[in-house]
Structure formats: C-alpha cells, structure tokens
Amino acid sequence: MPSGNASPDRRDGDFVTTFDRADDRASEAVLNAVAAVSGVEPADLSPLYDVVEPDALDSFIEHAQRVCDAGSHQVWFTYEGFDVGVRSDGEIRLRDAATAN
C-alpha cells in the first residue's frame, strides 16, 4: 500500500496489503496501512515507537531480504487495536486484535 493510494484488501477476515521493499520503509507502510483501515491520517495514530522500534523493524525486514530469497520472515505486534504482521516479502496483514485467536 504505501506506494500509491491502494487500500488494503480483505482476505480471510484480515486486511492485507503490500509495500515495495525496494522503495518503502516497512514502518511507514505499517502506519499507512493502519491509517487506511482505520479511516484516519497516519499523523493521527499513536506513535509506532510505543509498540515497536521503527528502525529495528525496518532493519529486520531489510536484513531478511538480503539473506534469504528462498522464503519470507515475519514479525507480529499489536498496534492501534490490530495485530500487525509484516513479512519480508512486502506483505502487511492487519487483524482485529479483539477477535484474533
């Protein structure tokens, strides 16, 4: 999502979007995805650093891309009422934290 104005798609109860791993930072992509699903501007969200260090998230995704083309790695955290999954292949998955298993 972060590149362009596409909204996250709904799949299996989750909102799913992608970001361009070459041009976008994972942390900014998360903010844009959560804002789009929530119907607010990214600036209206609480700081991402309250739940995850943005530079560490970006570094994790960048490192995973460099060392492993054969598969993807992912990290999950809760932010703004969503369980947020970020994968090294550029997928972001948002799940309602209140209803997630």
Confidence label for 76 from pLDDT (cuts 50, 70 and 90): very high
pLDDT digits (tens, 9 = 90+) for 20-38: 988 999 999 999 999 999 9
What proportions of the chain, in percent to the nearest 5, are helix, strand and coil? Answer: 35, 25, 40
Is the model's pLDDT at 68 over the cut of 70?
Answer: no
Q: What is the pLDDT of residue 64?
A: 82
Structural domain spans, the chain: 9-96
pLDDT digits (tens, 9 = 90+) for 37-48: 999 999 999 999
On average, the pLDDT of the chain sits at 87
DSSP 55-79: HHHHHHHHHHHHH-SSS--EEEEEE
